[in-house]
Structure 1
């Protein structure tokens, strides 16, 4: 059995919807106190109301160093400590490479990569002082393993997260801090649903299990990395995709 995480404190960024909201809820179920972070305070408060006691809302643009420092300070002021960071904030707008603007590229890199760096940097002093920390990033199979037209900037950002993770994990390994990443495949979220039923059916057909993943599948993986038992795992990415990256070709699924 896993040791209890009751009373631990987590910050979850990008927590107002989708995977981030699912992680916040799952952490709360495990007895973790959660600072729910979103650009919109109203959106963050809606999630805290769903979670109930032990959760509080904070508004921050985590691509800003000032905002990330304020976020960490708020967690310590409210809960007295920071044990876990789920660096989940991310966007995935579609843009063909030939038409992609510098502004579009920079926005994705700032939201997905810079925020990971800044939120991690902001919590490290508190984790180092305590001699304990769990940092869990939400990466993706897109970029590190697979590609998809229109997401070259997104894929680059998700691969960059893993590069950051490996060296950052080395730098804090002797401080009792682990840094790992969950790499989702196609997960049923508002964003995926917004891409239409045809896209969802196409993606489900490419997955050996035959179904899209659920937000809770990713939240459970994040909770494992946050656990005490995962203390000897660091600098690793865990693919959670129903086997999507396994087939050599579509024929492999038809055999």
Structure 2
């Protein structure tokens, strides 16, 4: 009997020794606190956090240049807002897209050479030394409707140096022409086929002689306005309209000048070809 008690006491003592922690060991704690006490030689001050939290956050990938950036994964669902402009490249068609499409604007003045009026320069001929009439570059193609609205042809009389003893001759039927700013009488004419526009009949004038003068150097601009009709002066009825075709605008001066003491006739002529379209 005594032996049995001793055996039982020995078993109890062994069990108690097994349950008692030795110095330096960590004691078990309640699982609900989530806190672990370190060994007595160096107590742990940090807390072990429960592995599971209310929401899980994962690092998002860097934004791609091609599409919408994936939002970071959180415990609650989030909505991705797309901005008005995307500067990325769509990998499916490799085209760069933007939120706003831009296109080149067209100014009030066209840059297409097909839409610009053709510019022409006239031809010149002169037997008067140092004096010419020129047509500077200007439109030379018109529709019939444009001429009826009125077109203007520009010309210039160029005198290079002073030229004495120059006499101008009238070119109209009634001797009504008078010299212009240059000192020459420049008579206009538009013609081609059976069509004619001129100042040929201005009535009857006294026809007084025009004395010789000295032409002065300079550039003397002039212009001729035309509305597309046949006409030969204020004493002639307005004729029919010029039909589509090829015509010539002409500015002409005639007269005489002194050369080695003798009178020499001269002609100064400029012509500009024009085209009328339907």
TM-score by length of 1: 0.22
Q: Which has the larger radius of gyration?
A: 2
Hey, which of these two has a bigger chunk of strand by percent?
Answer: 2
Hey, which of these two has a bigger chunk of helix by percent?
Answer: 1
TM-score by length of 2: 0.20
Structure with greater contact order relative to length (CA < 8 Å, sep ≥ 6)? 1
